[in-house]
Structure 1
Amino acid sequence: MKLLLPTCLGLAAVANAWTGDNCKRFADIYTDGADLISRMWGDSFRYETDETKAYTMWWTEGGAAGVKDAHDNPNDLITQSLFPDLGVPDQCHLDYYHKDAPSPEGANFTECHPWHANACCHEATVVTPKAMNEGYGAGYEWDRCGPMSQACERFFVEEACMYECEVSMGHYRRFTDEQHTLCANVSGLSPAGGPAAAPGASVTLADGSAYTCVKDPWAPKNAENKWEIHQMPIKASYADAFYRACANDQFCDSGSFWDCKGLYHEYLKTEEGKKAKELEDGLTREGVLEARVKVLEDEQTQCAVDKSLNAAAVLSKLQSGTVKMVFT
Structure 2
Amino acid sequence: MRGYSLLLHLLLLASQAAAQLQCQSFAQIYDNGTELCENMWGDAFKVVDNISEAYTMWFFDDQNPNAPISQRLHPTGNTSTCNLQYLHKTLPTAEGDDFTECHPWKEASCCSSNTANVTNLLNGYGPGYRWDRCGTLSQACERFFVQEACFYECSPHIGLYRRYGGHACDPASGQCTNVHNASNPGHNTWEVFKMPIRRDYCDAWWTACRNDMFCSNSGGNYFACALIPTTPNVTTPPPEVITNETTEEKEVLAPGLIALVVILGILLVAVAGFLCIVYRREKSGNPIFTPLKDRESKMPSQPSIAMVNGKVDV
Percentage of matched positions with identical amino acids:
43
Counterpart position of 2:214: 251
Is 1:53 aligned with 2:41? Answer: no
Cα shift at 1:20? 7.2
Distance in 1 separating the partners of 2:104 and 2:21: 38
8 Å contact from structure 2 (residues 92, 110) kept in 1: yes
Distance in 2 separating the partners of 1:111 and 1:137: 20
Distance in 2 separating the partners of 1:235 and 1:85: 22
Distance in 1 separating the partners of 2:74 and 2:20: 45
Is 1:260 aligned with 2:260? Answer: no
Counterpart position of 2:67: 76
Cα shift readout 1:111-163 (whole Å, capped 9, x = no counterpart): 0001000000011001x212101000121111111100000000000000000
From 106, 115, 120, give the equivalent of 2:105.
115
Matches within 5 A, 1:5-20: none
Distance in 2 separating the partners of 1:142 and 1:172: 24
How many pairs were matched up?
A: 203
Matches within 5 A, 1:62-141: 71-86=62-77, 88-126=78-116, 128-141=117-130
Counterpart position of 2:148: 159
Aligned AA (2:182): T
8 Å contact from structure 2 (residues 94, 108) kept in 1: yes
Cα shift at 1:76? 0.6
Structure 1 segments, 4+ long, off by >6 Å, are none
- Secondary structure of 2:76 counterpart: coil
8 Å contact from structure 1 (residues 44, 231) kept in 2: yes
Is 1:228 aligned with 2:191? Answer: yes
Cα shift at 1:231? 0.5
Residue 77 and residue 24 in structure 1: after superposition, are their counterparts in 2 closer, same or farther (change >3 A)? same
Distance in 2 separating the partners of 1:256 and 1:144: 14
Counterpart position of 1:22: 22
Cα shift at 1:253? 1.1
The answer to which structure has the higher helix fraction is 2
Answer with 1 or 2: which has the greater Rg: 2
Aligned AA (1:125): T
Distance in 1 separating the partners of 2:90 and 2:187: 19
Cα shift readout 1:37-65 (whole Å, capped 9, x = no counterpart): 0000101011110110000010014xxxx
Structure 1: which 5+ runs fail to align? 1-18, 62-70, 184-221, 273-304, 309-328
Structure 2: which 5+ runs fail to align? 1-18, 166-177, 234-248, 253-314
Distance in 2 separating the partners of 1:21 and 1:224: 28
- Secondary structure of 2:42 counterpart: coil
Distance in 1 separating the partners of 2:21 and 2:195: 32
- Secondary structure of 1:262 counterpart: coil
Cα shift at 1:264? 2.0
Q: CA RMSD in A?
A: 2.1
8 Å contact from structure 2 (residues 56, 66) kept in 1: yes
TM-score, with normalisation over the residues of structure 1? 0.59
8 Å contact from structure 2 (residues 134, 215) kept in 1: yes
Counterpart position of 2:183: 182
- Secondary structure of 1:264 counterpart: coil
Aligned AA (1:139): G
Distance in 2 separating the partners of 1:259 and 1:182: 26
Aligned AA (2:210): A
- Secondary structure of 2:46 counterpart: strand
Cα shift at 1:223? 2.7
Aligned AA (1:82): L
Cα shift readout 1:77-117 (whole Å, capped 9, x = no counterpart): 1000001122x511101000100000000100000001000
8 Å contact from structure 2 (residues 81, 156) kept in 1: yes
8 Å contact from structure 2 (residues 21, 225) kept in 1: no
Cα shift readout 1:268-316 (whole Å, capped 9, x = no counterpart): 9xxx9xxxxxxxxxxxxxxxxxxxxxxxxxxxxxxxx8xx8xxxxxxxx
Cα shift readout 1:228-264 (whole Å, capped 9, x = no counterpart): 0000010010000000000000011121111111122
